[in-house]
Structures are given as C-alpha cells and as structure tokens.
Amino acid sequence: MITAIEFRRHLHRHPELSFEEVHTAEYIEQCLDEAGISHSRIAETGVLAKIEGKGDLSKAVVLRADIDALPIEEHTDLEYASENCGVMHACGHDIHAAVLYGVLVRLAEKRDFEGTIFGIFQPGEECNPGGASKVLAEEPFEGYNVVAVIGEHTDSSLEVGELGFCKGEFMAANDELRFWVRGKGGHAAMREQLNDTVGAAADLTTAIICANDDKTVVSIGRFIADGATNVIPDEVYMEGTLRTFDEQNRYATKCYIHDIAITLDNHYGTTTEMDINEGYPAVVCDDALVDKAVAFAIERRLLVKMLEKRYTAEDFGHYCVKYPSLFYRLGVGTEAGRSHTSTFAPDERAIEVGIGFMEELARRF
C-alpha cells in the first residue's frame, strides 16, 4: 500500500483540470481498493469513500478534499513535477487529497470510532458553480445525521505545524461578471457617426469599482477593446468578480450593476449584454466546531492562529449552507511561495501534520 507522500507525488505529476479528473479518480479508486476502503463515483470525476465504525452508523462526519489542478505551466524543478503540459497542482489540492487519503487509511485499519465517516475526493473546485454543488445534488448523505463537514486549505503564510481558524464568516461568496458593450464603431475622429463603446465600457468599469465598500469587493480584471488609435470598435468585452458575505448585499450589488449598464446604454446609445455567473456561497464556519478544533489542536501542541475573514472564495461554502462545517488553513511553510503560481512548492512535512489533525477531528466529532 502506498504512502500519503507517494500518493501526493503521483497526483502532482499527473494533474488534471476541473471536471477532467478522469485518471485522478481512477488512481484514487485503485489506492482505496488496496486499502480495503469502500467507495463509489460522485459528480462524475469525484470519488466518495465510506468507512463504517461502530454504534450508531447514521451519525456521520464528512471529510472533503478537492482534486482538480490549474491551467499553469509548472516551473519548480521538482523530481515529480507535472508531466501534463500547461497543467499544475498550484493550489495545494494534491496536498489536500493526500491528507484525506492518509486519514482514511488510518481510520480503516481499526474502525474504532463511532458512526460513519465519508471522504469526498471532490472534482471541480476551481470553477463555477463548483464540484461541491454537484456532489450535494446527488444527496449522498440522505438518511445520515451529518454532525460535521471538515475541509482544509494549504496556506504558505503559515509554517508547518501551524493551523489557521476563523469563527463564522471566513471566505466570501463569489460571482463572475461578464459584459459585452456593443454599438456602431468607426473612425475615432467622426464621433457623431458612432457609439463610443470604449467610453461606455470605461464608465461602466468606473461605476462598478465605486461599488466597493466595507462589505463588498467588486473588480474588473479583463478589458478588451480591440480598436486602434483612430478606431472605436463595435464591441468591448469585460470580465470581473463580485465578492461579499451578505446575501442581501450580493443581490443589491447585482441590481446596481444592471441599472448602471442600462443608464450608460441610454447615454451612449450602446447595448450591453451582461452575464453574472453565480458562484459559491460564503464559507461560514460553525462556532462550536471551531472552538473544539482549536482545543484539539492545542492538545496536539500545534500552533493555532485565529485569522480574519478574507474575500477569496471556496466552493466548500456549499457544504456550509447545508451542514455544520469547519474549514481551516494548513501551514505548508513560507518557503513554498505563493499559490496559483508556477513555482508553488508546499513543504511535504505538512501532510503528516494534516493527517494527524484531521484524523483527530474525525474521531472526536
């Protein structure tokens, strides 16, 4: 039976993009078979493991790890670097999966815990609407009393042996914004004969940015106006993101953006097509689960850091809406570099820390 380190290195060497994790799922199934752990497919390219303990088997704890990679060319020089051109585990999902695998192997060896433990090797975290929504759509825990859903994320601002927690609101809800501002383009010097699509799109960008406040983050990160020094294009394309913790504010901001687009169209004579792709709900951690997890971590002599909420997003939020949930950050060393970059290289010593702590949570919960 392979080790968690070997498991991680195989996944790192063979990364696959969201909902393309075909070989990843097959490898996970093979490893679970060798460990004698029951499993089934979920969300097409995901794997759901199940281990029954003793006592009331309807009481369940769910452990979750994401398994998809990012469209990034790796430049780490690791001996197990990606062999899939242009794809890399640059967000630590291979670490998450290795931790979950290690936990399940240990739990399956003794099965001396109360209830049932599920392990989700979840696909498609890196895209909307997220693999978590597809997992839950299959209602895999129907008939069970789920007392906790537990997930983690690598964090290179924390050293190995450090864990980060946040009570309540932790990570923001997110929506993807796309705009097509269309009109009659033409010679830039003949303004009376055209619709200024660039001016309309620029004003729309400015108005959207003005929606930022202490409850909302909204940004435009892509702006394509394929004209020239003396050419106004027929179309300008824009992309952005909306992040917030408050659902009412989320709805109100979308309405504001829609109304501004109409106002600018009336002014410029343009037509704006808008697509707001709804993403993940906010990650909101159960206070009682956080308190218990922090106490367990201190018992294990791990360094605990209480973190501020952040406007990054995670599809783990889907689980938070339905079940008591706990999401925490696993230190992988400051030398790992920044995630979502081609040189991200977590310290593998974090895997054993992650296994020991998540196993403790599963047993106690």
State the DSSP code for 280. Answer: P
Q: State yes or no: cis peptide before 71, omega within 30 of 0.
A: no
Over residues 41-84, the pLDDT tens digits come to: 999 999 999 999 999 999 999 999 999 999 999 999 999 999 99
Exposure letters 340-352 (e unless 16+ CB within 10 A, then b):
ebeebbbbbebbe
User: What is the arithmetic mean of pLDDT over 147-165?
Assistant: 98
Q: Which among 249, 247, 250, 239 has a CA at the least distance from the CA of 204?
A: 239
User: What is the arithmetic mean of pLDDT over 245-263?
Assistant: 96
Q: Residue 159 in 3-state DSSP?
A: coil
State the DSSP code for 213. Answer: B
Which homologous superfamily does the CATH classification assign to the domain defined by 4-171+282-364? Answer: Zn peptidases (3.40.630.10)
Model pLDDT, residue 251: 95
220 CB-near residues (< 8 Å, 6+ apart): 177, 205, 208, 209, 238, 239, 240
CATH 3.40.630.10 domain span(s) along the chain: 4-171+282-364
Model pLDDT, residue 129: 86
Q: Which among 319, 294, 314, 317 has a CA at the least distance from the CA of 305?
A: 294
Query: Cβ distance 348 to 5 under 8 Å?
Result: yes
Over residues 85-110, the pLDDT tens digits come to: 999 999 999 999 999 999 999 999 99
CATH 3.30.70.360 domain span(s) along the chain: 173-278
Over residues 330-344, the pLDDT tens digits come to: 999 999 999 999 999
254: left (phi over 0), alpha (psi -120 to 50) or beta: alpha
Over residues 291-315, the pLDDT tens digits come to: 999 999 999 999 999 999 999 999 9
Integer Rg of the chain from CA:
23
Pairing of strands 283-285, 303-306: unpaired
Q: Residue 67 in 3-state DSSP?
A: coil
**How much of the chain, in percent, has pLDDT values that exceed 70?**
100
Alpha helical stretches, state H, 111-166: 131-137
Over residues 194-204, the pLDDT tens digits come to: 999 999 999 99
What is the biggest distance separating any 2 CA atoms in the chain, rounded to whole angstroms? Answer: 80
1 CB-near residues (< 8 Å, 6+ apart): 31, 34, 35, 105
Pairing of strands 145-155, 325-331: parallel
Task: Return the CATH number of 173-278, one of 3.30.70.1400, 3.30.70.100, 3.40.50.720, 3.30.70.360.
Answer: 3.30.70.360
Confidence band, pLDDT 50/70/90 cuts, at residue 159: very high
Inter-axis angle of helices 349-364 and 287-299, to 10 degrees? 120
Confidence band, pLDDT 50/70/90 cuts, at residue 280: very high
List of E strands, the chain: 38-42, 46-52, 59-66, 116-122, 145-155, 162-165, 168-171, 173-182, 186-187, 216-225, 231-232, 235-244, 271-278, 283-285, 303-306, 325-331
Mean pLDDT of the chain: 97
CA distance 18 to 147: 28
- Say whether pTM exceeds 0.85: yes
CA distance 58 to 117: 10
